[in-house]
Amino acid sequence: MPMSKKLQSIKGFYDVLPDKTPLWHFVEDKIREVLNLYAYEKINLPIVEPTSLFVDSVGTHTDIVEKEMYSWVDPLNEDKLTLRPEGTAGCVRAVIEHNLTYNGPVRLWYQGPMFRHENVQKGRQRQFNQVGVEAFGWSDANIDAEQILLLSRLWKALDIKDVELHINSIGDPEDRLTYRSELIRYFEGHIDLLDEDAKRRLHQNPLRILDSKNPAMQQMIEGAPKLSDYLNSEAKAHFEAVCGYLKEAGIPFKLNHRLVRGLDYYNRTVYEWVTNRLGSQGTIAGGGRYDYLIERLGGDKTPASGFGIGLERIILLLEDMGVVLQNEPNIYLVNLGDAAQKYALSLSETLRSHGLKVVLNSGGSSFKSQMKRADKSGAAFAVILGDDEMKEGVAQVKSLRIENIQTKIKFDDLASFLLKQTS
């Protein structure tokens, strides 16, 4: 009989194992704390949306729509559905559907998995986790700056130092139409230097050529016209205001004329926070303004801006910095004999009621085996109950971190003693 194939996850989809979850929880908690300081409210969004939502918002000629989306036709009703490849479109759909801006501007955030059929590499998976932050109803440059300051505050909260802010303005749609024509004309004049991917993009989405990482094309791309030379006066003033706010707040930044972002809905301010510690996948957060998206999807014209944080890349960056977090218990409760085993369950509940993290030994076994498990658990103390302890109304408390420290504590005093020891 042939052996069955070993079960394993799908390529690009992965498990976060228990030894990694403390660091994930730490990052998620810090993000929630910072977002709360800026009064952003949580919204939970579905993972599956109509395919048309992303075609209409992200853009027909983007890599995401052309080749990266997980899409299918529901056999029950023939609906065209897609696993969300990004979060902004779904959030905008919710704002329109529920008329969330009826009473004025709103600040929203969400968290969860996104899905793109990409080439798998370090920092780039096909299922990836993102925190999205969106502000609807503000047109002033100070909301752009505030969101950037929010991210700066988050890096400080996480003690992340090796990040650089890249910022650009891509103007308004009419600016990009003029620029697009000039860019096509420029690249057509250097057609022999374009790789196959660039040639494919040339008449569909020429701005994406500026993002190319092909070394053979870099000098030619550097000589391309700059979008900043084609901005209308309002767009130019808006960007100058954003940069002014950042300078006033002491946030250093780099003007990156090649930064356009990979989604069609952006206008004016775009930015990325970049690190050099993760190789080619160095962008850990990015976003910008998208004033026309709500109207494009059927809502009232509403200015908006937002950003996304790639959680996997934040985790990789912290690990590269040597950050290790463990989720160890305070107490391992060793119990021997019928009376101790019966009492141990209620005692462990009492200790937990005082906020102590307790692992209760279950299934019997010898004293030696239980102590081995206690050591392996990472607990600070073993609380030992046996026949003698039950008769005396005491527990033996043994330090698992410092040798030869063991003491008897009355049951009534046990919780307060352990709290002092573990605080």
Residue 262, pLDDT score: 63
Q: How far apart are CA 42 and CA 38, in angstroms?
A: 12
Contact 335, 341 (CB under 8 A): yes
Q: How many residues does the chain have?
A: 423
Closest by CA to 289, choosing from 265, 273, 309, is: 265
Q: Specify the DSSP element, H or E, that contains 313.
A: helix 311-320
**What is the residue-wise DSSP string for 181-244?**
HHHHHHHHTTGGG--HHHHHHTTT-GGGGGG---GGGHHHHHTSPPGGGG--HHHHHHHHHHHH
Residue 148, pLDDT score: 96
Contact 350, 410 (CB under 8 A): no
Residue 61, pLDDT score: 67
Q: How far apart are CA 248 and CA 250, in angstroms?
A: 6
Residue 259, pLDDT score: 84
Average pLDDT of the chain to the nearest whole number: 90
Residue 345, pLDDT score: 92
Domains of the chain and CATH, by start: 21-172+232-320 (3.30.930.10), 331-422 (3.40.50.800)
Q: How far apart are CA 420 and CA 40, in angstroms?
A: 37
Residue 197, pLDDT score: 83
Distances (CA, A) of 317 to 16, 281, 321: 16, 11, 6
pLDDT tens string 320-347: 889 888 888 999 999 998 899 999 999 9
Residue 276, pLDDT score: 85
Residues of the chain short of pLDDT 50, as ranges, are none
